[in-house]
Chains A and B, each alone.
Chain A
Amino acid sequence: MRTSIVLVLSSAALLALAPSCNKKKAPDTTAGSAGSAVAETGSAAAAPTPPPAPPPAAAGPTDAQIAAIVVAANQVDIDAGNLAVKKTKNPEVKKFAELMITDHTAVNKGAVELVTKLKVTPEETDASKGLVSGGNDNRAKLEKLDGAAFDKAYVANEVAYHKAVINVLTTQLIPSAQNAELESMLVGVKPAFDAHLEHAEHLQATLEGGGSAAGSGHKM
């Protein structure tokens, strides 16, 4: 449970994006054109008062920042999976961890290939750095657990982590992506993350229900 909190906290690094990640794709249409029209008609005798500064635009992450967040988010789960493969004795947990390694490695490969093609250099942000440090903290906690306690903590974290990643992906990264190919990649990867979450929740229910999975680490 404590480990779960740690990963949720690392997920907070993702959620920290929220205040600044409103959709920025909408073109600056009505305000800009209407504003200039008013300025023209009213310019003759107008006092030279400078126009008020527009409110700061609600900026989401740039494509370069999105790339860094995606790579960090995948790497955190790859690292957790590697730890789980090493520590678990439960074949179902091991199978899940191996799938996380395989899938998130593939997603990162695709993401790196795309940003290389787009000539976008991933740019670290507090969110991407927070993901990495949160992942490190989480693994440090998991390292201290064994057997069923490890399995439950690892899988609970996977549930929480995938929920957080899917939320950020859907509400912040996809709406903020400027490049169509990057956006398409983000949209395309979501079903895999949804499937991971479903798999993790199923595994969690099995473990919490006494674990029908063989060798589920009954002893500490």
Chain B
Amino acid sequence: MRFAHLSLLVVALAACGSKPRAPKILHVDIRAMAYSPDALAVSVGDTVEWTNDDLVPHSVTSSTFDSKAIAPHQTWSYVAKTPGDFAYGCTFHTMMVAAIVVR
């Protein structure tokens, strides 16, 4: 009986196609007044970490998330929750723009 249940579970998992994907941590460097990479595709559940490698403060600000000021050598992270395209930028230096795409 137990084997029957196990067999059903295996069959059910196989029917799903693949194992659940483990969330990833992805990094964006803020250096020389730019985000690198300036475009990043992530999946729901992934964490994006921004590290400010400049000597001046920056922010990671979009319509749905806002780091506020990230001091030099500090990191701010965001867990992607909702699919969509999210353009973001620095509120201090408005020429700095980038985007993440959450799938």
- Say whether B55 faces chain A, with CB atoms less than 8 Å apart: yes
Nearest 8 pairs of A and B residues by beta carbon:
A191-B32, A103-B56, A110-B55, A191-B33, A106-B56, A107-B55, A192-B56, A195-B33
Report whether over half of chain B's contact residues are helix, strand or loop; otherwise say mixed: loop
Q: Determine how close the nearest CB of chain B comes to the CB of A173; give it in whole angstroms.
A: 15
Q: Which of A102, A185, A195 contacts B95 (CB 8 A)?
A: A195
Contact with A along B28-46 (1 / 0, CB 8 A): 0001111000000000000
Q: Decide: B32 and A102 in contact? CB cutoff 8 A.
A: no
Interface residue B92 (Cβ < 8 Å from any Cβ of A): yes
B55 touches A102 (CB 8 A): no
Q: How many residues of B contact A (CB 8 A)?
A: 14
Interface residues of B (CB under 8 A from A): 31-34, 53-57, 71-72, 92-93, 95
Residues of A within 8 A of B (CB): 99, 102-103, 106-107, 110, 185, 188-189, 191-192, 194-195, 198-199
Q: Of A99, A188, A195, A199, which one neighbours B55 at CB under 8 angstroms?
A: A188
Specify which of B33, B34, B54, B56 lies most central, judged by the most chain A CB atoms within 10 Å of its CB.
Answer: B56
B72 touches A192 (CB 8 A): no
Give chain A nearest CB distance to B72 CB in angstroms.
6
Closest A residue to B31 by CB, please name it. Answer: A188
Whether A102 pairs with B33 at a CB distance below 8 angstroms is: no
Main secondary structure of the interface of A (DSSP, over half): helix
Return the contact of B72 from the options A106, A194, A195, A198 (Cβ within 8 A). Answer: A106
A106 to B56, CA, bound (A): 5
Q: List 8 A-B contacts (CB under 8 A).
A: A103-B57, A106-B56, A107-B55, A107-B56, A188-B32, A188-B54, A192-B56, A195-B95
Highest count of chain B CB atoms <10 Å: which of A106, A107, A185: A106
Chain B residue with the shortest CB-CB distance to A104:
B56
Closest to A185 in B: B55
B93 adjacent to A189 (CB under 8 Å): no
Given that A102-B92, A110-B72 are contacting pairs, would A192 and B33 also be in contact in the complex, using a CB cutoff of 8 Å? yes
Given A106-B72, A110-B72, A192 and B95 contact (CB-CB distance below 8 Å): no
A102 touches B72 (CB 8 A): no
In the complex, what distance in Å separates the CA atom of A68 from the CA atom of B86?
Answer: 43
Known: A189-B55, A191-B33. 20 other contacts (CB 8 A): A99-B93, A102-B56, A103-B56, A103-B57, A106-B57, A106-B71, A106-B72, A107-B56, A110-B72, A185-B55, A188-B31, A188-B32, A188-B55, A191-B32, A191-B54, A192-B55, A192-B56, A195-B93, A198-B95, A199-B93
